[in-house]
Amino acid sequence: MNCLLRTVNSLHSLYNEYKAMVEDFLGSCFCDKSSSYAELLESMRYSLLAGGKRIRPVLTLMFCKAAGGDPKTALPVACAVEMLHTYSLIHDDLPCMDNDDLRRGKPTNHKVFGETIAVLAGDAMQAEAFKAVLSSSLPAEVRAECARILAGAAGENGICGGQYLDMKGEGKPRNSEKLFDMCRRKTASLISAACQMGALAGGADKEQLCAAESYGYDIGLAFQIRDDILDELSTAEELGKPIGSDKREGKTTFMNLLGQDKCEEYLKLLTDRAKDTAARAYPQSDFLIGFADELCVRRS
């Protein structure tokens, strides 16, 4: 029991350390108040610094460490992942998409700055994500591969394709195969990219890169299933966003398709598979294993 407690405390300590590194980096971005487009920068910072768990950039730093690298060298690419994630949230909340009023306990970007500035803030954030990757101090070939992976997660085979499937599926029945396909693109692709980019920055070999990709997709799908569970069983105060919106809009979720018991089964299966993948490929896998467990039982 004492050994388990020490492991949990060490994980939380490392997570908080990495999260603080990410917050410091992001806090230094888009600060020029004298710019002629200062309101655009303010809009970008509003969403980028609105809080959040920073799961994706922390995973990047964790995989860099697990692969034997220095997490500080991976910080720009880790924060690039968070920038791209923030862009996707700004656009997802727009009236033409999910039309949400609340994100991370605060009014959504378009509610504060208007739709036009919100769209531009998202567009700029996506571009700045790639700039952060390509301006990092990593070797040129690593920067190029990280940019390729991030682009894949953002494009037609990733977030945008997943969002298209999500929007087109409103009010229509969807089977589990289609739901997993949509969530694999919309949610899991960027989480997997975060893991792969960290592994690359840390000097991972081919087997470790494949493991990072698989681990990321598994915990990404588990993350979405847990989200769907919380969306029905949690509160808006706990989650920092409206609950039950997918159900009200007629979207198929894992909960209304499979039920809670089956969701819990899938959650355990995906988490266990991710843990096994990490353990086989990375000698220093304790934090990756512990993090998968933490995501599985999160309350927000």
Q: Which two tokens stand for residue 220?
A: 């990404």
Direct distance between the N- and C-terminal alpha carbons of the chain, in angstroms, rounded to an integer: 26
pLDDT tens digit sequence for 101-120:
999 889 999 999 999 999 99
Residue type, position 205, single letter: D
Q: Which parts of the chain sit beneath pLDDT 70?
A: 1-8, 234-250
Residue type, position 228, single letter: D
pLDDT score for 241: 58
- With tokens 């969002």, the residue in question is 163
pLDDT score for 300: 81
CATH architecture of 8-296: Orthogonal Bundle (1.10)
pLDDT score for 198: 98
pLDDT score for 5: 44
pLDDT score for 247: 65
pLDDT score for 3: 46
pLDDT score for 239: 62
- With tokens 């089977």, the residue in question is 175
Q: What is this structure's pTM?
A: 0.94
pLDDT tens digit sequence for 146-192:
999 999 999 999 999 999 999 888 878 789 999 999 999 999 999 99
* 3-state helix/strand/coil string of the chain: CHHHHHHHHHHHHHHHHHHHHHHHHHHCCCCCCCCCCHHHHHHHHHHHCCCCCCHHHHHHHHHHHHCCCCHHHHHHHHHHHHHHHHHHHHHHCCCCCCCCCEECCEECHHHHHCHHHHHHHHHHHHHHHHHHHHCCCCCHHHHHHHHHHHHHHHCCCCHHHHHHHHHHCCCCCCCHHHHHHHHHHHHHHHHHHHHHHHHHHCCCCHHHHHHHHHHHHHHHHHHHHHHHHHHHHCCHHHHCCCCCHHHHCCCCCHHHHHCHHHHHHHHHHHHHHHHHHHHHHCCCCHHHHHHHHHHHCCCC
pLDDT score for 1: 45
- Using CA atoms, how far apart are residues 92 and 246, in angstroms rounded to an integer? 13
Residue type, position 55, single letter: I
pLDDT score for 234: 67
pLDDT score for 235: 62
pLDDT score for 2: 45
